[in-house]
Structure 1
Amino acid sequence: MKPSMCWIIYNGNLNSAKFTDFAQWMARAAEDAGITPILIKNNELLPLLHERKLLLAGKETELPAFVIFGDKDLFLARQLELLGIPVYNSAETIERCDHKGKMYQALAAQGLPLPKTIIAPKIFHTLSNDDHLALFTAHLSFPLVIKEAYGSFGMQVYLVHNETELREKVAALGATEYIVQEMITSSWGKDIRLNVVGGQVIAAMQRSSETDFRANITAGGRSMPYDPSDEEVALAIACASAVNAAFAGVDLLFGPDGSPIVCEINSNAHIRSIYECTQIDVAPAMIAHIQSDLARRNGMIG
């Protein structure tokens, strides 16, 4: 039996076209596949815990066959899963990708190539000392990159040129969680984005910037279609597998010898930019993969 209705969750407090655009884009793909989509803001559907029961506050309709979760509200995603609803991507995948420290640990555990990375110590309240900075500079050379644990679109990422800047940035971050990485200078201002769906690369583009070490389009980068090598394809697929992602936007850097290095994995990758660059619509492949996965779960295939 094919699924007839799905929910598409998106953030109700971020008034950006990027978030509503993704939800509407996925809704069109669902409709084309004969599935009725219902768009729901995360602040319209809350986890309700009452009398030893898991409930949902704010939605009185029947539960969907599945949920496309275009947000990072982990408690809501987990509540839906605990109610027996398949969620794409899963709460576990979103959590791994959303926190950069967790993401890089998952990648390193699989032996995947990534920049040398140090996860900063947990700090409560205000910064009382900076003894750990000596460990940063003992293992990493300037310039180095500081990334806040939570951040998207290349934001909350900082280039640090010397020890003075390092101390100033760490002091400014205070108790904010962050990681510190070597700067891959061979990939300055350029990277590639590969959209992986169901263990296959569906589309790829190269992004570049002439004015910034970051290549993100939101930060002013430009894009062009890209034909990835077998090594890049294999690495992108391995990255998605490492975080158990049904679909993901995998960003790779160009290593000094030309081999790919993982930059990051996006479990909630927006798909308009890659469509405008490549004319490849990733959404139908995402819906098709969900349908296939639901059939597998129901014992209809495999």
Structure 2
Amino acid sequence: MHVTGWIIYNDSLPGKKFIDFAQWLEKAAIQRASNVKIMSNSELLSFLSQSELSVLTEEQPSALPDFVVFTDKDIYLAKQLELLGISVFNSSEAIRISDDKILTYQQLATAKLPIPKTIIYPKTFTSQQLKPGALQAAIHRLGFPMIVKEAFGSFGEQVYLIHNKADLIQQIKNLATKPFVLQRFISTSYGKDLRLHVVGNKVVAAMKRQSAHDFRANITAGGTMEAYEPSEEEQKLAILATQSIGADFAGVDLLVGENDSPIICEINSNAHIRNLFDATGINVATFIIDYIFKKIEGNTNA
């Protein structure tokens, strides 16, 4: 079966890690004799009118691919491609939920999966503070230290550890109208977490991340990594978390709770894979492309 595909990345972002992920996927697809092309989302214009719904490219008319893999979070472009009947991995809805940590926690809570106790800060159009009683109720439920986490962000850069009420009030003021959550701090996971990469119904690779100097374990924040053999409970939880947002594949970050019980921290629908390869020697791109081919060929048990 001759399959064509686009691998879409965002060239407006600094650094090489975004094109790097796309290139890993491209190589894996070529090994499957697939005709694939790496494209930036800035090369694809979604066109809408009363009589036409299409994607404009430099090459017009452009033959549409059988599948598209997103290493980016351009939800509107993903939706446009789906409306054109193209198989998109991950789906626009999975990307939308994963990109918004508030939506993610709501899905996880609905699925009754373990997450840190979380309070969604009310939407505001100014830097208005919570009413004193409401703020005190949040502090009573979560305690200090407390995590303040923006709904949109990557690499742990929009996550803050708050130690007292004065700092909390100041951080809320700093965030102004941005959406964010307040969360109970999982002290047993200070400076360490687990990244499990799920493809379909399997965990295909995992690593443990640790930092000696930061409450966050992200590699970008200075953490170190090593291969990790997840327990059955951890694997099951990562798979259920991925399924809860409707993703075909995802990087799931687990915190370490009391008695080593796993707690879901975040789900990344387009998690980069180079660090995981460096830690484990496992190329997740091969598993992703194999999964996509099975789905396209009609194997629903991929």
For the criterion TM > 0.5, the same-fold answer is yes
Match of 2:71 in 1: 70
- Provide the rounded CA distance (Å) in 1 between the counterparts of 2:186 and 2:100: 21
Q: Kindly tell me the number of residue pairs found equivalent between the two proteins.
A: 298
Q: 2-side partners of 1:106 and 1:40: how far apart? A: 31
Residue 44 of structure 2: aligned partner: 45
The amino acid that maps onto 2:43 is E
Where does residue 33 of structure 2 map in the other structure? 34
Structure 2 counterpart of 1:229, from 231, 234, 238:
231
Aligned-partner Cα distance in 1 for 2:214–2:129: 31
Specify the alignment match of 2:102 in structure 1.
101
Q: Is the 8 A contact 1:2 1:291 kept in 2?
A: no
Match of 2:191 among 185, 189, 192: 189
SS in 2 for 1:142: coil
Counterpart of 1:121, as a letter, is P
Determine the structure 1 residue equivalent to 2:182. 180
Corresponding position of 2:290? 288
Amino acid at match of 1:106: Q
Which stretches in structure 1 are left out of the alignment for 5+ residues?
Answer: none
Match of 1:91 in 2: 92
**1:217 Cα deviation after fit:** 0.5
**The one of 145, 148, 151 aligned to 1:149:** 151
Partner of 1:160: 162
SS class of match (2:243) = helix
Deviation at 1:2, TM superposition (A): 4.1
Q: Deviations over 1:159-205 (max 9, x none)?
A: 00000100000001000000111000000000000000011000010
Q: 2-side partners of 1:129 and 1:172: how far apart?
A: 11
Q: Which amino acid aligns with 2:46?
A: P
TM-score (norm 1): 0.96
1:219 aligns with 2:221: yes
Deviations 1:4-37 (A, max 9, x none): x100111121032110101111111111111121
Which letter does structure 1 place at the counterpart of 2:102?
G
Which position in structure 2 is the counterpart of 1:21?
20
Amino acid at match of 2:44: L
Corresponding residue for residue 270 of structure 1: 272
Q: Take 1:293 and 1:31, find their aligned partners in 2: how far apart are those partners?
A: 17
Identity over the aligned pairs, expressed in percent? 48
Of the structure 1 ranges 44-53 and 78-87, higher mean CA displacement relative to structure 2 is found in: 44-53
What is the identity, as a one-letter code, of the residue corresponding to 2:6? W
Aligned to 1:57: 56
**By how many angstroms is 1:138 displaced?**
2.5
Superposed CA deviations along residues 113-138 of structure 1, whole A, max 9, x for unmatched, are 010011111111x2233214233212
Cα displacement (A) at 1:54: 1.1
The root-mean-square deviation of aligned C-alpha atoms, in Å, is 1.4
